[in-house]
Structure 1
Amino acid sequence: MSLRLSTVILPVDRWHEGGRAKWQRAEELGFHAAYTYDHLSWRTFRDGPWFGALPTLTAAATATDRLRLGTLVTSPNFRHPVTLAKELISLDDISGGRITLGIGAGGNGFDATALGQEPWTPKERADRLGEFVPLLDRLLTEDSVTHEGNFYSADEARNIPGCVQRPRLPFAVAATGPRGLKLAAQYGQAWVTTGDPKLYEEGTPAQSMVALAGQIDRLGTACAEIGRDVGELDKILLTGFTPDRNAPLKSVEAFTDFAGNHRDLGFTEIVIHWPIADSDFDIDPAVFEEIATETLGQLS
């Protein structure tokens, strides 16, 4: 099984002071895709620069030619399907059909209360995602949509001419629980995981592999329940959140072993963070570029 290698570029640089150069370099290095987080702020970066995901991706679309672009991930925390659909159709057009929407339930971080609401429980987040994804699917595939739901409504929302990619741009659904995996099976062209968060602090790499294998098995069950072949979905691992942390990025050899082991589990795409000094993603830039240029030849 072949494996694709992608990167995620956090929106922490002014576009004309290093931002554009990173996205262009990602294309030069041969990454399959470059993603960014769709947050209003995030963890240790909260008190520093942080720019909007969709404007950043729009700029990246005009600065690159081949690189796929997307979010990892967008959530209902501060998005509405009607306005998001219009922006995505525009972005898909500007990029010439190179956009993937990573989408998930969101968490209880800074975005969760930025609009003044009380933080939602995990059940409430899952309830909202369960309505958000099907409505967004309709908005991206139908010329006019009217919908009245528990959380989201649309009144003759027009989205002509629709996406460049048909029937719509692909969804990469981030999920580990049963409800999210069912959404991935029904609406996803890809599935995304960061591993088992319960293992991040004190788990081992071996335990993480077992947990990831279990997630893939449950995704297969969700697909089988609706008569879909799980092989139709790409399986994306966003790295940096398993017990390995950044250890696989210490050398080409370490990453080749890590990526090969996860390819053998069934993953089709590995995403690594672009280096940011003095952060959780403080990776040697030279090793990062070496991984990008040398690893895939050993894993194809």
Structure 2
Amino acid sequence: MSLRLSTVILPYLRWHEGGRATWQRAEQLGFHTAYTYDHLSWRTFRDGPWFGAVPTLTAAAAVTERVRLGTLVTSPNFRHPVTLAKELISLDDISDGRITLGIGAGGTGFDATALGQEPWTPRERANRLAEFVPLLDRLLTEDSVSYKGDFYSAHEARNIPGCVQRPRLPFAVAATGPRGLRLAARYGQAWVTTGDPKLFEDGTPEQSVRALRGQLDKLTDACTELGRDANELDRILLTGFTPDRARPLASLDAFVDFAGRHRDLGFTELVIHWPIPDSDFATDEKVFEQIAMEATAQLG
């Protein structure tokens, strides 16, 4: 099974002070997709520069030609399907059909309260995502949509001419619970995971592999229930959140070993964070570029 290698570029650099050059370099290095986080602020970056995902991807689309672009991930925490659909159709047009929407339920970070609301419970986030994704699917595939739900509404929302990619741009659904996996199985062209968060601090790489195997099995079960072949979905691992999070980027050999084990599990795409000095994503840039240029060839 072939394995694609992608990167995620956090939107903390001013466009003319490194931002533009980073996205262009991602294309030069041959990454399959260059993603960015869709947050209003994030963790240790909260008190520093942080730019919007959609404008950043629009700018990136204008200065690249081949690399796919996307969010990893967008959530309902501060998005509405009607306005998001219009932005996505525009972005897909500007990029000439190179956009993937990573989408998930969101969490309890800064995005959860930035609009002044109390943070939603896990059940509330799952309920909203279960309504958000089907409505967004309709908005991206139908010329006019009216809908009245528990959380979201649309009244004759028009999205002409639709996406460049048909029937719409692909969804990469981030999920590990049963409801989210069913959404991935029904609406996703890809599924995304970061691993098992309970293993982040004290787990072992072996425990992580077992947990990921279990998630993949549950995804297969969800697809089977809907009569879908699970192999139709790309399976994406966003790295950096498993117990061995630092080791894979320590050397080319270490990454090839890590990537091979996860390819053998059934993953079709690995995403590595673009190096950020003095952060959790600090990485030797020369090693990072060597991995980008040589790792997939070594995997065969």
Shared fold by TM > 0.5?
yes
The CA deviation at 1:118 is: 0.3
Kindly indicate whether residue 100 of structure 2 is the aligned counterpart of residue 103 of structure 1.
Answer: no
Once residues 144 and 194 of structure 1 are traced to their aligned partners in structure 2, the CA distance between those partners, rounded to angstroms, is 35
Gaps of 5+ in 2: none
Once residues 182 and 205 of structure 2 are traced to their aligned partners in structure 1, the CA distance between those partners, rounded to angstroms, is 27
Residue type at the aligned position of 1:253: D
Number of the residue aligned with 2:255: 255
Number of the residue aligned with 2:197: 197
Residue type at the aligned position of 1:44: T
Superposed counterparts of 1:226-241, under 5 Å: 226-241=226-241
Structure 1 stretches of 4+ with a deviation exceeding 4 A read none
Deviations, residues 109-128 of structure 1 (Å, cap 9, x unaligned):
00000000000000000000
Residue type at the aligned position of 1:135: L
Residue type at the aligned position of 1:188: G
Kindly indicate whether residue 187 of structure 2 is the aligned counterpart of residue 187 of structure 1.
Answer: yes
Aligned partner of residue 72 in structure 2, secondary structure: strand
Deviations, residues 193-238 of structure 1 (Å, cap 9, x unaligned):
0000000000000000000000000000000001000000000000
Residue type at the aligned position of 1:130: A
The 10-residue stretch of structure 1 (157-166 or 239-248) with the greater mean CA deviation from structure 2? 239-248
Once residues 229 and 112 of structure 1 are traced to their aligned partners in structure 2, the CA distance between those partners, rounded to angstroms, is 35
The CA deviation at 1:246 is: 1.7
Once residues 170 and 246 of structure 1 are traced to their aligned partners in structure 2, the CA distance between those partners, rounded to angstroms, is 30
What is the root-mean-square deviation of aligned Cα atoms in Å? 0.3
Number of the residue aligned with 2:129: 129
Number of the residue aligned with 2:171: 171
Residue type at the aligned position of 1:231: N
Residue type at the aligned position of 1:95: S
Residue type at the aligned position of 1:99: I
Residue type at the aligned position of 1:48: G
Number of the residue aligned with 1:207: 207
Residue type at the aligned position of 1:20: R
Number of the residue aligned with 1:31: 31
Residue type at the aligned position of 1:72: L
Once residues 226 and 71 of structure 1 are traced to their aligned partners in structure 2, the CA distance between those partners, rounded to angstroms, is 26
Number of the residue aligned with 1:68: 68
Kindly indicate whether residue 296 of structure 2 is the aligned counterpart of residue 285 of structure 1.
Answer: no
Gaps of 5+ in 1: none
Aligned partner of residue 6 in structure 1, secondary structure: strand
Once residues 191 and 226 of structure 1 are traced to their aligned partners in structure 2, the CA distance between those partners, rounded to angstroms, is 15
The CA deviation at 1:245 is: 1.3
Sequence identity (%): 81
Aligned residues: 300
Number of the residue aligned with 2:42: 42
Aligned partner of residue 291 in structure 2, secondary structure: helix
Residue type at the aligned position of 1:225: E
The CA deviation at 1:262 is: 0.1
Once residues 149 and 247 of structure 1 are traced to their aligned partners in structure 2, the CA distance between those partners, rounded to angstroms, is 46
The CA deviation at 1:272 is: 0.1
Once residues 86 and 246 of structure 2 are traced to their aligned partners in structure 1, the CA distance between those partners, rounded to angstroms, is 37
Once residues 84 and 273 of structure 2 are traced to their aligned partners in structure 1, the CA distance between those partners, rounded to angstroms, is 25
Aligned partner of residue 280 in structure 1, secondary structure: coil
Kindly indicate whether residue 37 of structure 2 is the aligned counterpart of residue 6 of structure 1.
Answer: no
Number of the residue aligned with 1:77: 77
Aligned partner of residue 92 in structure 2, secondary structure: helix
Number of the residue aligned with 1:91: 91
Once residues 220 and 60 of structure 2 are traced to their aligned partners in structure 1, the CA distance between those partners, rounded to angstroms, is 34
Aligned partner of residue 164 in structure 1, secondary structure: coil
Once residues 72 and 121 of structure 2 are traced to their aligned partners in structure 1, the CA distance between those partners, rounded to angstroms, is 21
Once residues 279 and 288 of structure 1 are traced to their aligned partners in structure 2, the CA distance between those partners, rounded to angstroms, is 15
Residue type at the aligned position of 1:146: S
Once residues 144 and 36 of structure 2 are traced to their aligned partners in structure 1, the CA distance between those partners, rounded to angstroms, is 29
The CA deviation at 1:157 is: 0.1
The CA deviation at 1:298 is: 1.1
Once residues 37 and 275 of structure 2 are traced to their aligned partners in structure 1, the CA distance between those partners, rounded to angstroms, is 15
Once residues 276 and 121 of structure 2 are traced to their aligned partners in structure 1, the CA distance between those partners, rounded to angstroms, is 32
Once residues 213 and 203 of structure 1 are traced to their aligned partners in structure 2, the CA distance between those partners, rounded to angstroms, is 15
Deviations, residues 228-267 of structure 1 (Å, cap 9, x unaligned):
0000000000000000112100000000000000000000
The CA deviation at 1:299 is: 1.4
